[in-house]
């Protein structure tokens, strides 16, 4: 299913915190790794204050340092028996990463959500955000931290899959099956239903923006009746999806019904399970809870302490058009 893992690096230890997870995925899925570094163009201010010959020497020095750095990372991964190559391109980081992914849309892009190089000074946090919103490639994001402690998973044990009942949300499932088989992971399919507060807040919102008959039928009535009905339907849906995934050769598949804010409940669930990996699509909409999976994915990426694999629901949909 995957051709390789593209790993953008900026030379910082923060950016390198994705490498442990990359090592686990590459070994389990038996796919190569391509290290990628973008050398950003020299600013006009720098050019204005430097002699041409000095400018040329600086660019060459940056290329040499970048190559040495990538050689070092390459050697550390190859020690695990992983096939590793690297590329360097000049240009702004985010467009270069997106272009590299566009050349092979079966590749996973894996990167930390924060980092800063000592030379190019591009923030991997903002770069990761741009890549998240524009790439059609599967994107693995790992939260890094200044103290180097965050998300240092030595072993992945459980693949948590948030679903919202929509076909778009289910498009992550083929990749879930492939990863779970390759890494021998337990799969946990989860669906969240609204709390009482969210129910009333959503009801008020839809009456204000879309007071049509369909909305009235869905949201009218006391919360207790709504909860009983929506929970029963959610469990029926989860049970059906569990059976479908099991039939694809995964024996360890469970369902979990969550309550309350979708993003918060998913983040909390992942925090309870050591060695979690969350896999979800960037877009979807439930017929009952009406929460948009795109916004939930954005919040999960920002707050989850475990790695998150984000898959765009439709490869034809890009950027803000989503």
Which pLDDT score is estimated for 43? Answer: 52
CATH topology of domain 5-142: Rossmann fold (3.40.50)
In the numeric block, the tokens 């953008």 are attached to: 8
Q: Looking at the domain covering 158-321, what would its CATH class be?
A: alpha beta
User: pLDDT tens across 28-79, in order?
Assistant: 999 999 999 988 765 555 545 555 555 555 667 778 888 899 999 999 999 8
Domains of the chain, residue spans: 5-142, 158-321
Which pLDDT score is estimated for 34? Answer: 98
Name the stretches of the chain with pLDDT < 50: 47, 115-123, 148-150, 204-217, 284-293, 316-322
Which pLDDT score is estimated for 314? Answer: 66
DSSP-assigned states of every residue in 204-237: HHHHHH---HHHHHHH-S-HHHHHHHHHHHHHHH
Which pLDDT score is estimated for 61? Answer: 76
Which pLDDT score is estimated for 79? Answer: 85
Q: In the chain, which residue ranges form alpha helices assigned H by DSSP?
A: 13-16, 19-29, 44-48, 52-78, 93-103, 124-134, 167-170, 173-183, 196-209, 213-219, 223-246, 262-272, 293-303
Q: d(Cα 106, Cα 101) in Å, to the nearest integer?
A: 8
Q: d(Cα 27, Cα 182) in Å, to the nearest integer?
A: 9
Which pLDDT score is estimated for 221? Answer: 64
Nearest to 177 by CA among 1, 311, 6, 30: 1
Q: d(Cα 273, Cα 132) in Å, to the nearest integer?
A: 25
Which pLDDT score is estimated for 144? Answer: 76
Which pLDDT score is estimated for 293? Answer: 44
Which pLDDT score is estimated for 262? Answer: 87
157 by DSSP, 3-state: which? Answer: coil
């Amino acid at each position: 299913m995957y051709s390789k893992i593209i790993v953008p690096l900026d030379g910082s230890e923060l950016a390198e915190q994705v490498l442990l997870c990359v090592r686990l995925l590459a070994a389990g899925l038996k796919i190569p790794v391509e290290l990628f570094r973008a050398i950003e163009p020299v600013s006009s201010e720098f050019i204005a204050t430097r002699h041409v010959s000095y400018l040329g020497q600086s660019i060459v020095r940056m290329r040499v340092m970048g190559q040495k750095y990538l050689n070092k990372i390459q050697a550390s991964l190859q020690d695990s028996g992983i096939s590793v190559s690297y590329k360097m391109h000049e240009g702004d980081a985010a467009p270069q990463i997106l272009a590299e992914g566009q050349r092979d849309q079966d590749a996973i892009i894996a990167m930390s959500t924060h980092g800063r190089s000592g030379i190019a000074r591009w923030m991997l946090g903002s770069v990761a955000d741009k890549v998240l919103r524009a790439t059609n490639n599967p994107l693995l994001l790992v939260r890094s931290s200044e103290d180097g402690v965050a998300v240092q998973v030595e072993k992945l044990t459980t693949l948590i899959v948030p679903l919202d009942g929509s076909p778009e949300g289910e498009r992550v499932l083929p990749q879930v099956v492939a990863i779970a088989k390759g890494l021998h992971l337990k799969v946990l399919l989860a669906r969240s239903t609204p709390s009482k507060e969210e129910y009333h807040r959503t009801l008020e919102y839809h009456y204000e923006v879309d007071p049509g008959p369909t909305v009235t039928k869905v949201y009218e009535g006391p919360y207790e009746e709504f909860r009983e009905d929506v929970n029963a339907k959610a469990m029926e849906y989860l049970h059906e999806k569990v059976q479908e995934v099991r039939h694809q050769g995964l024996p360890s598949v469970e369902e979990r019904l969550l309550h309350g804010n979708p993003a918060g409940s998913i983040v909390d669930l992942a925090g309870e399970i050591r060695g979690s990996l969350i896999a979800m699509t960037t877009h979807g909409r439930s017929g009952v809870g009406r929460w948009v999976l795109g916004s939930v994915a954005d919040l999960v990426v920002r707050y989850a302490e475990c790695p998150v694999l984000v898959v765009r629901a439709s490869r034809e949909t890009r950027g803000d058009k989503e």
